[in-house]
A and B are shown apart, each in its own frame.
Chain A
């Protein structure tokens, strides 16, 4: 629910500082109705990817707030480049918080109680950090810790050294800020980019030789936390009236599309339509994990933070459109409106862009491949619920381990789940709210075992999954997910939450501790 409570909170506590003119330090966005370019890409070399990002901020001429990751490429500053790594590489990413401290913004979420990682201090709208979404990497300082890591304006920056496992599944991941209470602000319209683990063609040879396209779909509200109209953008390009971003393909050409849902809260129902009819899309991977078998779908539901990788075939002539259909998130949810994301034009002059060569697959194979065959050591039930005191709040968003007291996340809280390395757990996650939620857990992928108590048709490995809203009668919708904590690198404290970012910021999130 994009309720007004956060707006009220922001207004009450902060006034309107986010409406003031601010520094215009993000790169210019592409013009509406132009050809969609893939994000600038940085590839690892010699086992390491080295880069420096500076977080910036702009308000565009239409009033949309943008946060951005700026990267100095040769001859130009680009925004949120795609990071390409091989399994076993190290991502050496230095992140500088280039935001201008704004003392009028008094709102802060306090400081974590654990030893700080990075600059420490209180988490504010000007603080940042980076979450490597979907990556099966350790939840520790300088890798993928978001609980204790804070980067503050004015500091020299913070160095990430993320060790990509040799068994990391090839596929599309993404990165974004994850400071509790302010994630939505910074992801709104900008600070998010794609991260690709190379090697998909080794696991799914269908994509070998195809032109690869990387599409990041973002969402921007005029002012985050204020209910109102929003825009979806495709690689930062907006649509306006009948002008849409343009994707170029050769007639009849097959391309490998890697699409990240980097929206704040939009459940995308993706289709490619030719003459108004959805055409089959050959599914290759979800959430950065190759499917056991490719399958054809005409509609791909991608929850917020999810990714879909699929093969698209252009029509033999004429044009097509890339759309997201309307999606109901329930009585208390937001209407996800239908939108044309791009027009697809066919031309024989289209340039090809093949995937970079990747390292050979390792002997270790791909992580999580066989764990569903192992029996679960623990069963848990969790549930989403909401509590509305009024139309404008107070609103509480909960994710609760069944049997525990419902509470919203606090940075200083103790983990609500403790398990140990080696555990294989089955989590049944129910949705008891009248709004669809998107369950996400850091550090691992899970296998979908059941949906609404019945064996799942597709036991895919995911890191984010939608759970539809309760209709007011009958059983709650649910998913049963198998969690694999057998890898020692999962040891530590990390998060699970709803990936509707407003919900996450308002506390629909908790910690899990995996002991060594």
Chain B
């Protein structure tokens, strides 16, 4: 054996393999901003891959065709992309709402891995299919059938459907946002309900804590929870509200169940359907879906409290090119995230770049020069993703 290892041939093999592995790894670790090009029939949809230019703006590289169809719209708070960077495989899963397919794309080869569907009744043709995942399972929220499909992650960026869990809001609401942490999955519904599930066994089992969010019950702005994020330690769940104001709610989930949410609101902008915690959890980015702005709120991960931060001006192209802001991803996967990339939904969709800066304790969000970057493949961009994903 030793003799073999010392052979010139073996050393050559190891060297070549090492170079190959290194280059493969380098390709896989390229930072991407991803788009779910949610084209409606008859246009085949796909996943757009953007690299980051020297100026920080996304640069379109290519679209991986998924061979399926989208719907070109839907709920703001749904993530139509789920990213896996497990160490053994790097995948992007895109939901294709018209066909109710979930398509896996191998990030290292930019090729389609598996195409999977749920049950025959799973459907999201009206408002889309949201997704969240961990290393073992992907959960898909089908907004028409009001079901959560559980899929087991398989090699080759493919999935195996396990089963459905039927869900419904307190007043008949439709499933909207989802987030997971450890053995807990949290959902929001369009009637203002929120609910948590245990996913330790794979398939979600309700924790019996479904409730209307505090804002839904008390706010004068007729608010309801939409997108969800969870702190790294699983102590707090944060809800971005669809609202006529900027409204965010926080629930202490350290008990393993949802508790009554605390409302944080401001008239600085309109709606907060998409939110995102920074990697260091000091900043909560809020996409003011209808207000055409992005806000950064200061978050205290120890107390779960939010405080006023800063709000950008209206992003460029409002009204002319796009009507709504939608999903967001971090510009950096470390520190305060450095700002966000934001999807712009309209006839000319694009990805806005909104860096965060500080002057002392005062923050500032300003859209970068040259922003937005046009997405050439979709007129209706709602969901973007990042590879590698945030660590939690």
B314 with A473: CB separation less than 8 A: yes
What separation, in Å, do the CA atoms of A330 and B346 have in the docked complex? 13
B318 with A392: CB separation less than 8 A: no
What separation, in Å, do the CA atoms of A433 and B273 have in the docked complex? 16
B292 with A472: CB separation less than 8 A: yes
Contacts of B244 in A (CB 8 A): 385-387, 398, 406, 432-433
Main secondary structure, interface of B, reads loop
Interface residue tally for chain B (C-beta within 8 Å): 40
| Nearest chain B CB to A333 CB, angstrom units | 9
Residue-by-residue, is B241-279 near A (CB-CB < 8 Å gives 1, otherwise 0)?
Answer: 011100000000000000000000000011101000000
Residue of chain B at shortest CB distance from A8: B126
B290 with A332: CB separation less than 8 A: yes
From B72-80, B111-119, B300-308, give the one contacting chain A.
B72-80
B221 with A406: CB separation less than 8 A: yes
B220 with A406: CB separation less than 8 A: yes
Residue of chain B at shortest CB distance from A402: B220
Residue of chain A at shortest CB distance from B144: A12
A401-416, CB < 8 A from B:
403-407
A472 with B314: CB separation less than 8 A: yes
Residue of chain A at shortest CB distance from B288: A472
B292 with A392: CB separation less than 8 A: no
Interface status of A375 (Cβ within 8 A of chain B): no
Interface status of B377 (Cβ within 8 A of chain A): no
Interface status of B291 (Cβ within 8 A of chain A): yes
Q: A330, A332, A385, A434 — which one has the most chain B CB atoms within 10 A of its CB?
A: A434
Q: With A332-B324, A432-B244 as given contacts, are A388 and B126 in contact (CB-CB < 8 Å)?
A: no
The contact of A387 among B77, B243, B293, by CB within 8 Å, is B243
Residue of chain A at shortest CB distance from B219: A405
A391 with B382: CB separation less than 8 A: yes
Interface status of A389 (Cβ within 8 A of chain B): yes
| Nearest chain B CB to A391 CB, angstrom units | 4
Q: A331, A332, A473 — which one has the most chain B CB atoms within 10 A of its CB?
A: A331
- Total number of residue pairs linking A and B with CB closer than 8 Å: 101
Interface status of B319 (Cβ within 8 A of chain A): yes
What separation, in Å, do the CA atoms of A433 and B292 have in the docked complex? 11
Interface status of B289 (Cβ within 8 A of chain A): yes
Contacts of A365 in B (CB 8 A): none
| Nearest chain B CB to A388 CB, angstrom units | 6
Interface status of B147 (Cβ within 8 A of chain A): no
What separation, in Å, do the CA atoms of A4 and B271 have in the docked complex? 19
Contacts of A391 in B (CB 8 A): 73-74, 76, 324, 345, 380, 382
Q: A390, A403, A472 — which one has the most chain B CB atoms within 10 A of its CB?
A: A390
Interface status of B323 (Cβ within 8 A of chain A): yes
A139-192, CB < 8 A from B:
none
Contacts of B78 in A (CB 8 A): 390
Q: With A389-B242, A390-B76 as given contacts, are A434 and B273 in contact (CB-CB < 8 Å)?
A: no
Interface status of B224 (Cβ within 8 A of chain A): yes
What separation, in Å, do the CA atoms of A182 and B319 have in the docked complex? 29
Q: With A332-B324, A391-B73, A394-B190 as given contacts, are A386 and B290 in contact (CB-CB < 8 Å)?
A: yes
Main secondary structure, interface of A, reads loop
A389 with B226: CB separation less than 8 A: yes
B222 with A407: CB separation less than 8 A: yes
Interface status of A34 (Cβ within 8 A of chain B): no
Residue of chain A at shortest CB distance from B292: A472
Residue-by-residue, is A363-396 near B (CB-CB < 8 Å gives 1, otherwise 0)?
Answer: 0000000000000000000000111111111101
The contact of A406 among B222, B270, B292, B322, by CB within 8 Å, is B222
A434 with B345: CB separation less than 8 A: no
Interface status of B313 (Cβ within 8 A of chain A): yes
Contacts of A386 in B (CB 8 A): 244, 290
| Nearest chain A CB to B52 CB, angstrom units | 27
| Nearest chain A CB to B266 CB, angstrom units | 14
Contacts of A432 in B (CB 8 A): 244, 270
The contact of A390 among B74, B313, B318, by CB within 8 Å, is B74
What separation, in Å, do the CA atoms of A16 and B356 have in the docked complex? 49
| Nearest chain B CB to A273 CB, angstrom units | 26
B199-222, CB < 8 A from A:
219-222
| Nearest chain A CB to B382 CB, angstrom units | 7
Interface status of B127 (Cβ within 8 A of chain A): yes
The contact of A405 among B73, B220, B290, B293, by CB within 8 Å, is B220
Interface status of B146 (Cβ within 8 A of chain A): no
What separation, in Å, do the CA atoms of A390 and B318 have in the docked complex? 17
Interface status of B176 (Cβ within 8 A of chain A): yes
Interface status of A471 (Cβ within 8 A of chain B): yes
| Nearest chain B CB to A328 CB, angstrom units | 7
Q: B126, B176, B244, B324 — which one has the most chain A CB atoms within 10 A of its CB?
A: B244
Residue-by-residue, is B292-328 near A (CB-CB < 8 Å gives 1, otherwise 0)?
Answer: 1100000000000000000001100011001110000
B74 with A388: CB separation less than 8 A: no
Contacts of B323 in A (CB 8 A): 331-332, 434
A331 with B319: CB separation less than 8 A: yes
Residue-by-residue, is A308-347 near B (CB-CB < 8 Å gives 1, otherwise 0)?
Answer: 0000000000000000000010111000000000000000
Contacts of A394 in B (CB 8 A): 190
The contact of B314 among A4, A332, A390, A471, by CB within 8 Å, is A471
B324 with A472: CB separation less than 8 A: no
Contacts of A392 in B (CB 8 A): 73-74, 126-127
| Nearest chain A CB to B71 CB, angstrom units | 8
A4 with B73: CB separation less than 8 A: yes
Contacts of A8 in B (CB 8 A): 126
What separation, in Å, do the CA atoms of A432 and B345 have in the docked complex? 20
B222 with A396: CB separation less than 8 A: yes
20 intermolecular pairs with C-beta atoms under 8 Å apart: A4-B73, A331-B318, A385-B270, A388-B271, A389-B75, A389-B242, A391-B324, A391-B380, A392-B74, A393-B127, A394-B190, A398-B222, A398-B244, A405-B219, A432-B244, A434-B292, A434-B319, A472-B313, A472-B314, A473-B293
10 closest residue pairs by CB, A with B: A472-B314, A391-B73, A390-B75, A385-B244, A472-B292, A406-B222, A331-B319, A331-B323, A405-B220, A389-B242
Beyond the given pairs A389-B176, A390-B127, A472-B318, 17 more chain A to chain B contacts, judged by CB atoms under 8 angstroms and listed by A's residue number, are: A8-B126, A385-B244, A386-B290, A387-B222, A387-B242, A388-B324, A389-B190, A389-B242, A389-B273, A390-B78, A391-B382, A392-B74, A392-B127, A396-B222, A434-B290, A471-B318, A472-B313
